[in-house]
Amino acid sequence: MPRKPPAEPIDHHYDIPRLNRAFWWSAAALTLAFIVMIVADYNRDWKTFQRVFLRLDAKQTRDAALAARQKALDDEHTKLVGELRQARAEIATHQTTLHQLDAQLKALDPKIYLADQQYKFTKASFDAERYKYEDRLANDRRAAPSAKRDFDRISQELDQRTVALATLKKQDAEIRARVDAINAKKKELESTIEKRTAAFRLSRDKYVSLKQDTLFQLRNAAILDMINPTLRVQQVQLPDQFINVNFMKIPKVDRCTTCHVGADRKGFEDPKIKEVFRTHPALHRMVGSESMHPATTFGCTPCHGGRDRATSFWSAGHSPETEAQERAWTKKYDWEFDKFNENPVLPLKYAEAGCYRCHSSETNFGDAPTLDSGMRVVETLGCWGCHRIEGLEKQGIPKVGPSLEKIGSKLSKDWTTRWVMNPPSFRANTRMPNFFYLENFVDVSGPTPPTAAQKKMNEDGRVENDTMVNAIVSYLYDRSKPAEVPPVPGRGDVARGQKLLAERGCFGCHLADPNAQRDLTGTYRQFGPNLAGIGSKASRDWIYHWISNPKQWNPDTKMPNLRLSPEDALDIAEYLSTLKAPPAFDQAGLPKTDEKTLEQIALYFEMSTKTLFDAKADLAKMDLHGKEVYTGKNLIAHYGCYACHAIPGFEDAKPIGTELTEEGSKAVHRLDFGFIHIPHTRQDWFWTKLHTPRVFDRNRARGWEEKLRMPNFRFSDRELDQVVTAVLGFQQLNAASSVVKELSPREEAIEKGRRIVKNHNCQGCHVFEGVGGSYRSLVADPSLAPPIIQGEGAKVQPDWLFGFLQAPKTGQIRPWLEVHMPTFGFTDQELNELTRYFAALDRAEYPFLIADYVTTPGTWAAGKKVFELLKCAQCHPRSIEDMNRPGVDRASLAPNLQMAETRLRHDWINSWILRPDEWMPGTRMPTNFPKNDDGHRVSPLGGLIDSPQFAKDREEFAKLFGSDEAAKQFLSSPDAVTRALRDYVWTIGINGGTAPVPLKAPAATQTASGFGAPPAAAGPAGTH
């Protein structure tokens, strides 16, 4: 079949000029799009920030330069310049000579060059000839003599060359010395002027380099900036800090300083400077290159959170602190909530959360006050009892609530019921949270009056809670271990009891203030329960036995034994039993158990292990009380009461709450926001949860068993911020171990001690580590208050401290004190850890000290003499008799020196005598050795001894030291004098300070040191 011939092509199907126009327009559009692309790519916020910062820096540098100039160009400068001018004129008169010398130098120059070259060439030949000679010696002995000749020849030549070169150089040096002599004055002046103006010139040069001149603009112009721009992304690589992307760990690269240009530089602290440019507020601790957290290792985002590689405000994940800030940011930076950013920047008020992930092994966080308070609240309120927190779990904290094992013998059932229903109605500042009648059972919080359905739900919830409270209390009393509280014969003296309560030190841990609000961080006096209302809670008899020996009632109690005499205990118990609760508490109605509800609750628990029919059969066998006890036990397990209280039957129960160890890293979508519309961030969820724990049940139709269980701790807003900071800090550790805080043995000893201190509230009475001593403010006369024991580790001997802490005796050191150091009943381990802790705090030796210190009779005698001269005995008794002497005001006495030898560290005594004002500011011990202007301690005795009234003493000292001069030298040396005093004081406890001999040192050692021989000479006699 023949193919049809192809049709002839026609000219064009389309109108070509139209296509041309279309092409023109589309090409124009593409060009425009291209330009838009370049502009959009070039315009980055960080460039603007850097330009603005550059201007700021330039301005500050300019100011600094001007100030430096002002300072440099003073009268002295004018004088120097004048002198320089003179010097120059002076030089001008020597012009001819200088010209001549210069000509000579010029003539010498080629000669030296040539001589140097010849020397070098000869040296090279010399080395070669030497090798040749050595080679012949080793391999071809016959040819050696000729090689030796060549070598000798060249060696000679080298000597000549060396001399020639040296001669020429000497000539040159001589001429130069003459030139320098003429110029000397001028050079010196020039150098002085240069030095005086260096600061000015430096800042001026810097200012010039900071100017945004044409070159700057060119280097940073669009497209051209690909070559070598000055505005560039700044970053630190952090190989030890990771981003966990689940299947691998990626090192962080922090680019924060791209915008926060001034963060790591001093000089931008002024609050008037824009926040973005300001110096980090704690440069000495963070970011600064000399701080312990330099930005090059720790970066910014590992602590603050945020997207490390981001270079724009939004993508960095900045989190607004308030709604106002959010609005402002939205307007200014197009900020919007980024739900895909799993790790946004922590709002500033929670910033300290970043510390915890690396420092979780520590107990106190003094440099991070919000976190420190947060952790204190978390510890004290017992959050860790229900929610496992690994960092705290490792530290071993005792349960925060009292033991309920013998509740039946201590408290009335009605009281317990009312207490469980609403603890703050009895004691406003209690730590016990509200478990019942909360909004997911009884919601009366709505702004509108409740509907009929709501009323019905509230009523059901109330009945359920009533039944639950009764059931729990029934269980507690049913299982309560029998304990006897024998009646106390006689009555106490209420007034004396009140006085003793204040004097013995009870208020170091307790308040007795019915209006007190909870404050767990501002005072140490809320460690124990508030004693207000105690008379409505416990009987006089019980109180008497309790305060007489708390550990007898409960071996695990934190309450120490104050060693009260029976009369004292009776008076205090008498007084405490008069403290009654507000009448509203005692009159509050008691809940009624609804049998049907009880049945339902019990059935639910029964059915967790049994089938419906077995469960019902089981229940049918129980009477009402049996059902209550059964239900109570299960409700205690349901609500986790045993997390804080010791309850029979729950010795090994597991905590009921979510583990919080990495809560701060939890994915936000794993937090159940329910129907509550708050921003979907961790901090908002934590805050809301802590504020109203059952709020996420709102609008949910759930049975009681499905409802949220977390109790309401009635947090204040301040506490909320603190606890949220702590919880945000419980983070996954995405860092190499090299950047995590690792405790040194010393720090570990300190942390162990701090834990014991925190568990026993030592700082309620004593000040150490710079904090504590709440009780001291209650005592008018500071000398009657529990002592400040700052520096205790350096002061006392470990053995003594061990013994003292184990069994302090009343009146042992300061018999005049009314307040008692309690007996805590520490274990051996605790005692060791505590003594070690105090030693570690002051970097003192631990645990072994030399028992026998060495002195010479001369030094000892001099010490004794000084002791008398300074009238130390006026305040310090040297024996018990001294203290009991008639007419002695015991309150004004200083510690008994008899105990120095057994109690104090040898080297501490002289240090204390030398600088008591530094050891304990405000001490009554006089500063006998004041500081001079250079800050050195001086001994005024050297001068004092010259006055006529001490003529006799002077003679005696001269006799002791063999010459007046030696005596003077001794008396003028504060170190020598204090050491001598110490040596004397040390013997007071041994022999009453009568002789230097009983320093308990072996004779050989004493002799050896007396004559300055090395200790080795003492030989085996050195042991005893």
Partner 1 sequence: MALIEFVKNAIDFLSAPQYLVTGALIGLVLAIHWRPIWTPKGGAVLFALLAGGIGLSYLDPNFNKVATLPDNVPIVGMIFLVGFFFWFSMTQAYANDRRIAEGRPPFEGEDSAQKVFSWPDLVYVELICLVIVMAVMIVWSIYLKAPLEEPANPTDSPNPAKAPWYFLGLQEMLVYFDPWLAGVAFPSIIIVGLMAIPYIDTNPKGNGYFTFRERRWEITIFLTGFLVLWCMLIVLGTFLRGPNWNFFGPYEFWDVNKLVPLNNINLSEIIWIKVLKRSLPNFWLIREMFGLAVVGFYVAALPLVFSKTLLRRFYEKMDPVRYFIGVSLALMMLALPIKMYLRWIFNLKYIVAIPEFAFNI
- Summarize as ranges the residues that interact with partner 1 (CB under 8 A): 6-10, 12-14, 16, 19, 22-23, 26-27, 29-30, 32-34, 36-37, 40, 243, 245-247, 340-342, 667, 669, 674-675
Continuous segment of H or E residues that includes residue 251: strand 249-254
State the Cα–Cα distance between residues 399 and 962, nearest whole angstrom: 68
Quote the least distance from Cβ 807 to partner 1, whole Å: 56
Tokens of 125: 């030949």
> Least separation, in Å, of the C-beta of 24 and partner 1?
10
In angstroms, give the least distance from the CB of 257 to partner 1.
24
532/513 Cα distance (integer angstroms): 6
- Closest approach of partner 1 to the CB of residue 251, in Å: 14
The residue among 341 and 403 lying less far from partner 1, judged by its C-beta, is 341
Q: What's the closest the beta carbon of residue 318 comes to partner 1, in angstroms?
A: 17
Q: How far is the CB of 345 from partner 1 (least distance, A)?
A: 16
Q: Which residues contact 849 (CB under 8 A, 6 or more apart)?
A: 797, 798, 905, 906
Do the beta carbons of residue 668 and residue 685 sit within 8 Å? Answer: yes
Closer CB to partner 1, 35 or 444, in the complex = 35
| Count of alpha carbons within 13 angstroms of residue 604, beta-carbon side | 14
Tell me 931's DSSP state. Answer: B
CA pair distance 630, 605, nearest whole angstrom: 9
* The one-letter amino acid at 851: A
- Residue 50 CB, nearest approach to partner 1 (Å): 23
Give residue 50's identity as a one-letter amino acid code: Q
Q: Shortest distance, CB of residue 13 to partner 1, whole angstroms?
A: 5
Residue with smaller CB distance to partner 1, 696 or 713: 696
Nearest approach, Cβ of residue 712 and partner 1 (Å): 24
Q: Which CB, 28 or 1003, lies closer to partner 1? A: 28
Instruction: Give the Cα separation of 371 and 373 in Å (integer).
Output: 5
C-beta closer to partner 1: residue 27 or 173: 27
Sign of CA dihedral 804, 810, 816, 819: positive
Q: Measured between alpha carbons, how far is 164 from 178 in angstroms, rounded to an integer?
A: 22
Residue 244 CB, shortest distance to partner 1, in Å, is 9
Residue from 269, 273, 271, 299 nearest 282 by CA: 269
Which of residues 30 and 617 has its CB atom nearest to partner 1 in the complex?
A: 30
Identity of the residue, 250 or 624, whose beta carbon is nearer to partner 1 in the bound complex: 250
Closest CA to 416 of 438, 399, 397, 401: 401
Nearer to partner 1, 34 or 113 (CB): 34
**Distance in Å, CB of 315 to partner 1, minimum:** 10
Q: How far apart are CA 142 and CA 617, in angstroms?
A: 124
Q: Please give the Cα distance from 884 to 54 (Å, whole number).
A: 76
Sign of the CA dihedral running 186, 187, 188, 190: positive
Residue 896 φ then ψ, to 5°: -70, 125
Which residue, 5 or 489, has its beta carbon nearer to partner 1?
5
The whole-angstrom distance between residue 28's C-alpha and the CA centroid of its chain comes to 63
Report in angstroms how near the CB of residue 698 gets to partner 1 at its nearest.
12
Minimum CB distance to partner 1 smaller for 341 or for 370 = 341
- CB closer to partner 1 out of 13 and 331: 13
Based on CB atoms, which residue is closest to partner 1, 30 or 1013?
30
**Residue 550 CA to chain centroid, in angstroms?**
35
Of 21 and 491, CB closest to partner 1:
21
Q: How far is the CB of 696 from partner 1 (least distance, A)?
A: 11
The CA distance from 151 to 161, in Å, is 15
The contacts found for 34-43 with CB under 8 angstroms, 24 or more apart, are: 38/222, 38/223, 39/222, 42/222, 42/225
Min dist. Cβ of residue 428 to partner 1 (A): 38
Name the residue nearer to partner 1 (CB basis): 246 or 587.
246
Angstrom distance (rounded) from CA 396 to CA 400 = 12
Distance in Å, CB of 14 to partner 1, minimum: 6
Q: And the tokens for 852? A: 């026998």
**Nearer residue to partner 1 within complex by CB, 16 or 771:** 16
Which one, 33 or 1013, has the nearer CB to partner 1?
33
- How many CB atoms are closer than 10 A to CB 108? 17
C-alpha span between 548 and 568 (Å, rounded) = 9
Q: Determine the Cα–Cα distance for residues 147 and 78; give it in Å rounded to an integer.
A: 71
Rounded to a whole number of angstroms, the minimum distance from the CB of residue 839 to partner 1 is 48
Q: What gap in Å lies between CA 517 and CA 424, rounded to an integer? A: 10
Residue type (1 letter), 218: L
Structure letter (DSSP) for residue 822 = P
φ and ψ at residue 237, rounded to 5 degrees: -90, 135
Gap between the Cα atoms of 72 and 62, Å rounded: 15
In the three-class reduction of DSSP (H, G, I as helix; E, B as strand; rest coil), residue 959 is classed as helix
Give the CA radius of gyration of the chain.
43
Question: Rounded distance, CA 960 to CA 953, Å?
Answer: 10
Yes or no: say if 359 and 700 are a contact pair by the CB < 8 Å rule.
no
Residues linked to residue 286 through DSSP beta bridges, in sequence order = 293
Least distance to partner 1 from the beta carbon of 397, Å? 32
What letter represents residue 667's amino acid? A
Nearest one of 465, 469, 420 to 440, comparing CA atoms: 465
As given in the structure block, the two tokens for residue 473 are 């209390």
Q: Smaller CB distance to partner 1: residue 31 or 117?
A: 31
Q: Could you tell me the smallest distance in angstroms from the CB atom of residue 25 to partner 1? A: 9
Task: Judge contact between 945 and 960, C-beta under 8 A.
Answer: no
In degrees, to the nearest 5, what angle opens at C-alpha 196 toward C-alphas 191 and 197?
A: 100
